[in-house]
Amino acid sequence: MVGLELDEYLWAQWSCTRLAFICAPLGFGKTEFARRMLRGQDTLEVDAEKDDVTERVTTRDASRYDAVLLDNIHDGLSTEAGSRLASVIAQCDGTRFVFTSRAPMPGWLTPFFAKGEVLVVTSEDLYFSDTDIAHLLAANNLAAAPELIDRVAAATSHYPMAIALAVAHMLRGDGDAWESSLFDEVMRYFDAEFKRRFSPRVQDLLMLVPFFDRIDKDVVMGVLGEEDGKELLDVLRHTTCFVTPDGDAWVVNPGVRAFFEWERAHSHDDASYHSVIDHAVDYYVTHGSYIRALELCSRTKNNKRMLAILEEHAKLNPGNGSYCELEHYYHALPEDIVRTSPRLMRIMSLLDSMLMDTIGSERWYSELEDYAKAPQRTREERKIANANLAYLDIALPHRRLASLTDAVAALAKVNASNDPELTPSMTSAMPSIINGGRDLSPWVPADERTCILVGKLAGRALGRLAVGCTEVALCESRFEKGEDVTPYISKVNAVLPKIRRGGDPSIEFAATGIECRNLVDKGDARQALSLLDLQRRHLSQTSPRECRRIIANLDAMCCRIWLRLDQTERAHAWLEDNEPDLSKPLDFLNRYIYKTVSQVLISECRYDEALRLMSTLSEYVQSRDIFIDFINYCVLAAIATWRSNKGDWKVWMVRALNMAKRFGYVRTISTYGAAVLPLLMETQRQAEEMGADPGQVSRLIKAARVQATFYPNFMAGPSGPTEPLTDTELQVLRLICRDKSNAEIGEILSIKLPTVKTHVSHILAKLDVSRRSQAASEARRLHLV
């Protein structure tokens, strides 16, 4: 009997329970492990595959034994028999019961599990550790050298049956040959059991499983049809361990995929599955799950279909950011194939631009130009290519349009193609029209005249995007300049029903966004949250797939309001889900989210991280004349630099002031209220030295003071504990955050229970909270753990 690391904690639990359920696939030694658990006890063993359980396990018979081992209940136990067995278990309260199964826990055991009476042992528990392998080698008089342990672990992936076979080979003196033959040996064992256990029809259905990472009911029923789909789901959920529940779906276990791939290579013809796989790909594409469709094509090596899916996907509006989600697949396309398609070259240029790779974006723009100029092009091909180039002139922020005349000329070329795919995005799904994919700030000083001119052209040039865009744009322009926008908000609200009926969701969000920003500016942040909540529910119900990026930006807008309302825990939770990985390229369309991330980072005193993010973005947007973003980034960088005393905050502040003055912007800076007020006051004192306009600074101070009275703690750093925590209190706090009970904390730290309670009481008082869960949240917010 080889000692296992599992023994150290299993037996303590087993001593407190009467029932055990051992659930694992074939080859994990479930039966032998069950016998270990019942060693030394008078045990009735029953194999559910061979015996009639209802006859063998009666109340009278079970009560005569110390324990009952019921093996292989996955197939041999009906629901009715399980219910009868549950009655026996309840009546024989002096008898222990251990069940082994290759399927999940049956429903009739659930009541016992809910009462904490069932110890569950899974395949994760039964994998052999390196220590277990060493013990097994030593028990068989084999030298447990570290090198041999590593070889066995690598060859077997810690799988118990494979380890047992490896040891058997070594005992027979097979030398190193066991490593090369081990995998096929295990697979053949699985193959025999697979064919014994399942009918040919079920085998064919199960062979489809490894093509999927996740399986959900809708996919299975939609692809296989109701009869076959119902049968496959029933087998997966009730009689196997092939999948693991994950929310509303199931994840295919990696070991299962390895077996089915081996089985298909040895016993099945892939051609018989092509039609089913094609149906699955169609299902995913129809439902907008392009990533899953491409993963499925990649797994089946269907490169032709992958290209067709990417061509279809390329028709989507780039404003929803879907290109970045498939960046891996687009960049994996052979360049000679991309060069044959104006659509794909346009997408590659847009994609690289979104990932802030201007060089890559311009390279594909040049490739598209070369395609259009090639002498072999037909007139129609040249027209399509030039329309795509004109679209890029509008859409790429680094390709500057010097005037509205240039913009109108580019739009005319796009419209001449009559290509519905070439729909300009005014807002990039952000809550601002003047700060969308192309910044209209240069035309803001003459905003009224600009909107009249654009209004005449918009309907024909922008289609759905034209509905309400000029009303929202004018309102936003006046808002940024610090004016009372009440009459303009009225006009936006008047056109909102028309936007909802025949406009674009991004314009609807921009309309709601400017109204919410105005409410926040007037001190009514809670009303703004209510409006955003209504908008979110509306977007989620209408077209959630198309509006994912809008919803993400809406949530970021909510986060900014939470910061104003001191709801720092909600803001921190949002940050955990949205903080970017700075080791990877940033997504330009996420810049509104990045600004919000920076605000939360500053509010948590994580100044270095905020500065790193702002510095990267400010350089990019400045080089592309995206002026409002640049002002925001400079203000945030100035605040972070001021608070951390790292660098010259004045440089950032002067940049923001100069740019805001150029376009007459006020609220772009004053919106930061209490966070920016001390910087503005210091700027006023040093106006001459800094080269600042005293009149501009005075106006900003006045507006910022109003915001500070509404939201005095906006972006304020955490206050911290009322007094520092001792080293022991910090240790206790870390364990509280790990959900440890007082008794467990006392055992780990080797202190008495009353002492633990005293420490917990001190921690709650110092953090000014009343419950342990609140202490854990506050500890994470303050970065104490």
Mean pLDDT of 534-547: 78
Same domain, 612 and 742: no
Mean pLDDT of 5-13: 73
Give the pLDDT confidence score for residue 297 in this predicted structure: 84
Higher-confidence residue of 590 and 488: namely: 488
Same domain, 249 and 141: no
Q: For residues 622, 624, 628 and 633, what is the CA-based torsion angle, rounded to 10 degrees?
A: -40
What pLDDT sits at residue 497?
Answer: 92
Query: CA neighbours within 13 Å on the CB side: how many for 185?
Result: 17
User: What mean pLDDT comes out for the span 5-9?
Assistant: 68
| pLDDT of 432 | 63
3-state class (DSSP) for residue 68: strand
Lowest mean pLDDT: which of 60-69, 157-166, 194-203, 475-484? 194-203
Question: Is residue 318 included in any domain, yes or no?
Answer: no
Tokens of 9: 């904690």
Residue 629 belongs to some domain of the structure: yes
- The string of pLDDT tens digits covering residues 289-322 is 888 888 888 877 788 888 888 878 877 766 556 6
Length of the chain: 785
| pLDDT tier at 680, thresholds 50, 70, 90 | very high
175 with 207, same domain? Answer: no
120 lies in the same domain as 26: yes
Residue 81 sits in a domain whose CATH number is: 3.40.50.300
pLDDT at residue number 424 = 61
Q: Higher confidence at residue 66 or residue 542?
A: 66
Model pLDDT for residues 191-250, shown as the tens digit of each residue? 888 888 888 888 888 887 777 777 878 888 888 888 888 888 888 777 787 877 777 778
Average pLDDT value for residue range 629-639: 93
DSSP 8-state class, residue 320: G
What would the mean pLDDT of 6-16 be, rounded to a whole number?
77
Q: Which residue has the higher pLDDT, 3 or 490?
A: 490
CA distance linking residue 270 with residue 583, whole number of Å:
40
Contact 512, 535 (CB under 8 A): yes
Shared domain for 433 and 529, answered yes or no, is yes
**Averaged pLDDT for residues 699-707:** 96
Question: In which residue are the tokens 């723009």 written?
Answer: 365
Q: What is the mean pLDDT of the chain?
A: 85
pLDDT at 211: 74
Are residues 688 and 575 both part of a single domain? yes
726 vs 316, which has greater pLDDT?
A: 726
413 belongs to a structural domain:
no
* Highest mean pLDDT out of 253-262, 320-329, 498-507: 498-507
- Structure tokens that stand for 184 in this block: 């096929």
Separation of alpha carbons 427 and 589, rounded Å: 10
Residue located via tokens 């277990």: 132
By percentage, how much of the chain surpasses pLDDT 70?
89
Q: Do residues 749 and 681 share a domain? A: no
Q: 412 vs 89, which has greater pLDDT? A: 89
Distance CA 361, CA 38 (A): 68
CA contacts within 13 A on the Cβ side of 630: 21
Confidence category of residue 79, pLDDT binned at 50, 70, 90: confident
Give the chain's domain count: 6
409, part of any domain: no
**For residue 675, what pLDDT band results from cuts at 50, 70 and 90?**
very high
Helical packing angle, 568-578 and 591-603, nearest 10°: 130
Q: pLDDT tens-digit profile of 212-222?
A: 777 878 888 88
390 in any annotated domain? no
What is the band of 2 on the pLDDT scale with cuts at 50, 70, 90?
A: low
Residue 622 sits in a domain whose CATH number is: 1.25.40
The answer to whether position 634 is within a domain reads: yes
Which tokens belong to 136?
């097994």
Query: Which of the listed residues 126, 159, 178 is the one where a domain comes to its end?
Result: 126
pTM of the model: 0.66
Whole-number pLDDT of residue 1: 61
Q: What is the mean pLDDT of residues 725-731?
A: 87
- Domain region containing 120: 7-126
Output the pLDDT for position 104: 86
Q: The CATH number of the domain where 752 resides is what?
A: 1.10.10.10
In this structure, are 86 and 176 located in the same domain? no
Are 603 and 685 in the same domain? yes
Beta bridge partners of 21: 99, 120
pLDDT grade for 429, boundaries at 50, 70 and 90: very low
Cβ atoms 732, 749 nearer than 8 A: yes
pLDDT at res. 323: 72
Residues 56 and 163 occupy one common structural domain: no
321's tokens: 């950011």
> What's the pLDDT at 459?
62
The predicted structure's pLDDT at residue 172: 85
Phi-psi map region of 244: left, alpha, beta (phi>0 left; psi -120 to 50 alpha): beta
Kindly state the greatest CA–CA separation across the chain: 99
In the prediction, which pLDDT does 531 show? 95
Q: Which of 171-180, 325-334, 358-367 has the lowest mean pLDDT?
A: 171-180
What lies within 8 Å, CB to CB, of 185 at 6+ separation is 165
Q: What is the pLDDT of residue 327?
A: 84
Tokens representing 31 are 């039966």
Specify whether 45 is located in the same domain as 116.
yes
Radius of gyration of the chain (CA): 33
Cα 172 to Cα 139: distance, rounded to the nearest angstrom: 15
Instruction: Report which of residues 476 and 466 the model is more confident about.
Output: 476
Which token pair is 121?
């042992």
Give the pLDDT of residue 433.
Answer: 61
Which pLDDT does position 596 carry in this prediction? 95
Domain boundary among 101, 126, 151: 126
Is 554 part of a structural domain of the chain? no
Q: For 366-375, what is the mean pLDDT?
A: 95
Token pair for 216: 């959900």
User: Is residue 351 a part of any domain in this protein?
Assistant: no
Q: Give residue 694's pLDDT.
A: 95
User: Is residue 269 predicted with pLDDT exceeding 70?
Assistant: no
Domain end, chosen from 193, 218, 243, is at 193
- Lowest-confidence region among 396-405, 592-601, 689-698, 754-763: 396-405
- pLDDT at site 416: 66
Do residues 576 and 673 share a domain? yes
